[in-house]
Amino acid sequence: MTRIVVVDDHPLLRKGLVLSLEVETDLTVCGQASNAEDALSVVEAENPDLVLVDISLPGMSGLELIKQIHAIRPTMKTLVVSRHDESLYAERAVRAGAKGYVMKLEASDVMVKAVRRVMNGGIYVSEEINERLLLGMASGHETLAQSPLEVLSDRELEVFELTGRGYGTRDIAERLHLSVKTVESYRARIKTKLNLNSAAELMQHAVQWVEGEKAS
């Protein structure tokens, strides 16, 4: 029996994930959490076989949570389940230690397939992302490192992406469970790191990048 912990800050989505897993006779959900701090406590208490992690969590991000899990439980498997486009985050997730990436929009049978592949020692990503990762390995370096956005932290990339999708500072703050002041600080750091001079330039750069990632 595979024991799973589900980490997602949206109660209804978390419940849906749990239900889709519990109908399988070989899978059981042994714990749930709505934020990274609680998740670490549950992981310590339950010692699950697999942790399903959403990227956008209040406080510590899902990618940082994955790194923390692997710091305390190096052999524990993690799988990202997120609404974020795979093309934007899958490589970062794998680099953080995740064994796969599944979009929340995927059907429940895809989710179960991903869980089983990861538990069998494999990695679950789309063919497109798999090819990108393999090309990076073949060329001797990771494809993500070629991106100018490599200088951004995982949380800064989230803010950058949401900016490119047209969200304002207050909207981003609500979605990421941050204060408006914190989001403004992230935006300021992004401008500095990417050598952008204004909020308008940041918006233009972010929109172009998001659209380019969708098309790639």
Same domain flag for 88 and 42:
yes
Phi, psi of 5, deg, nearest 5: -110, 135
Same domain flag for 107 and 155:
no
Same domain flag for 18 and 108:
yes
Task: Provide the pLDDT for residue 155.
Answer: 87
The domain total for the chain is 2
CA angle at 93 for the pair 125 and 163, rounded to the nearest 5°: 105
Same domain flag for 128 and 30:
yes
Percent pLDDT > 90 in the chain is: 62
Task: Provide the pLDDT for residue 83.
Answer: 82
**What's 124's DSSP letter?**
B
- The edge-to-edge listing of strands for the beta sheet with 50-53 is 27-33, 2-7, 50-53, 77-82, 101-103
Q: Which residues of the chain have pLDDT under 70?
A: 133-148, 213-216
Phi, psi of 182, deg, nearest 5: -65, -40
Task: Provide the pLDDT for residue 86.
Answer: 79
> Which residues span the domain enclosing 85?
2-138
Task: Provide the pLDDT for residue 145.
Answer: 44
Residue type, 179: S
Task: Provide the pLDDT for residue 153.
Answer: 86
Task: Provide the pLDDT for residue 150.
Answer: 77
Query: Contact 66/98 with Cβ under 8 angstroms?
Result: yes
Give pTM, 2 decimals. Answer: 0.77
Same domain flag for 129 and 35:
yes
